[in-house]
């Protein structure tokens, strides 16, 4: 994900490849003079599950959250729209105070990874495995602490696996090489659907339950119950459905179209 941020912001971070078993020392706490210095002048790329967690935390609809707290960027090659956290006019994160992050248990995955970066675009372009790299900002004193971690332990401690699992199908879309083929470049309608299914879960729910969607798609009753009750399941469903629409291999087929 940091790789996406690098493309968007032109950050000078140079990746040093780390695996899940690579070790580093780090600890972040209120006693450090740099406490919260990192929560400003940064590009915080938001995944769909980040937005779900934050809008639930703040008691906002997804549309309200998007309008108030995000700005839009786009992926260089495929032009897919991506949302990033909107900084205040002073360049600070809207959720930081002197005592720390006010949405800490629902902070975005980029904040969870820090001080580790996660490269997935470059590695998949090169046909290799995803890899990690350290982000060593000169002001960050956390690296001087002696608590040792492997990248795997750090990911567990930050609950990153849950974010990866929930965003899995979305990343499949985002990183699909199919989107680089000229005949599959998304048109206006596909880009609108991408925005809806990626970030605006409340509008997607209306689309599913208040339109003809359930009448025209072949979706089993167990799935319907699950996505009705659980927003996380609805989000994963949105990504699976979108993948089918964009790539022409629908998992949830329309009743009126014979394959």
Question: For binding to ligand SF4 (CB under 6 A), which residues are involved?
Answer: 28, 32, 34-39, 44, 93, 95-96, 101, 103, 107-108, 111, 114, 139-142
CB of 104 to ligand SF4, least distance (A): 6
- CB of 170 vs ligand SF4, minimal distance in Å: 20
- Residue 158 CB-half CA count within 13 A: 22
110 vs 242, beta carbon nearer ligand SF4: 110
Cβ–Cβ under 8 Å, residues 45 and 8: yes
Shortest Å, Cβ 87 to ligand SF4: 9
Rounded to the nearest whole angstrom, what is the least distance from the CB of residue 139 to ligand SF4 in the complex?
A: 6
- Identity of the residue, 15 or 134, whose beta carbon is nearer to ligand SF4 in the bound complex: 134
Least distance CB 103 / ligand SF4 (angstroms): 6
Question: 2 vs 123, which CB is nearer to ligand SF4?
Answer: 2
Which residue, 26 or 194, is less far from ligand SF4 as judged by CB? 26
- Comparing CB distances to ligand SF4, the nearer of 9 and 36 is 36
């Amino acid at each position: 994900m940091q790789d996406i941020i690098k493309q968007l912001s032109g950050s000078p971070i140079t990746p040093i490849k780390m695996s899940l078993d690579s070790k580093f020392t780090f600890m972040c706490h209120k006693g450090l003079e740099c406490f919260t210095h990192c929560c400003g002048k940064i590009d915080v790329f938001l995944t769909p599950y980040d937005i779900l967690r934050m809008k639930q935390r703040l008691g906002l609809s997804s549309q309200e959250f998007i309008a108030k707290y995000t700005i839009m960027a786009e992926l260089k090659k495929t032009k897919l729209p991506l949302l990033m956290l909107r900084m205040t006019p002073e360049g600070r994160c809207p959720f930081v105070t002197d005592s720390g992050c006010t949405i800490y248990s629902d902070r975005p995955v980029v904040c969870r990874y820090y001080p580790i970066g996660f490269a997935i675009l470059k590695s998949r372009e090169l046909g290799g495995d995803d890899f990690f790299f350290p982000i060593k900002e000169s002001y960050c004193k956390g690296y001087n602490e002696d608590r040792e971690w492997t990248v795997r332990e750090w990911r567990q401690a930050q609950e990153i696996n849950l974010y990866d699992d929930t965003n899995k199908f979305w990343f499949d879309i985002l990183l699909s090489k199919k989107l680089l083929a000229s005949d599959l470049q998304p048109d206006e309608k596909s880009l609108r659907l991408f925005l809806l299914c990626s970030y605006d879960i409340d509008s997607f729910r209306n689309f599913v339950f208040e339109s003809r969607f359930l009448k025209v798609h072949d979706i089993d009753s167990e799935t319907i119950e699950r996505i009705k009750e659980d927003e996380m399941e609805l989000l994963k469903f949105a990504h699976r459905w979108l993948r089918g629409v964009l790539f022409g291999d629908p998992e949830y087929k329309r009743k009126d179209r014979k394959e």
